[in-house]
Amino acid sequence: MKSVKVLGPGCPKCQQLMKATQQAVNELDLECDLEKVTDIQQMMSFGILLTPALVVDGQIKLSGKVPSVEELKKILAQ
């Protein structure tokens, strides 16, 4: 099962990424552990400079933007 984390303090873009990621997961019928991380220390442990960020199985897949649901589906299907 994949581990998917959306990193961000709760800003509108972070909320958009969480919503779009949830939609992509649902459309792919993907079994994963989807988590929203708002803790600054936890976010810093990934070394991201811009939020929101998407981490899949411990690897940063994107940072600083909100991609389309189709783009997210491509990232998550890998």
Does the annotation count 14 as an active-site position? yes
| Active-site annotation holder among 9, 11, 23, 65 | 11
Does the annotation count 11 as an active-site position? yes
| Tokens describing residue 26 | 């649902």
Rounded to whole angstroms, how far apart are CA atoms 36 and 22?
Answer: 11
| Active-site annotation holder among 4, 6, 7, 14 | 14
Catalytic residue numbers read 11, 14
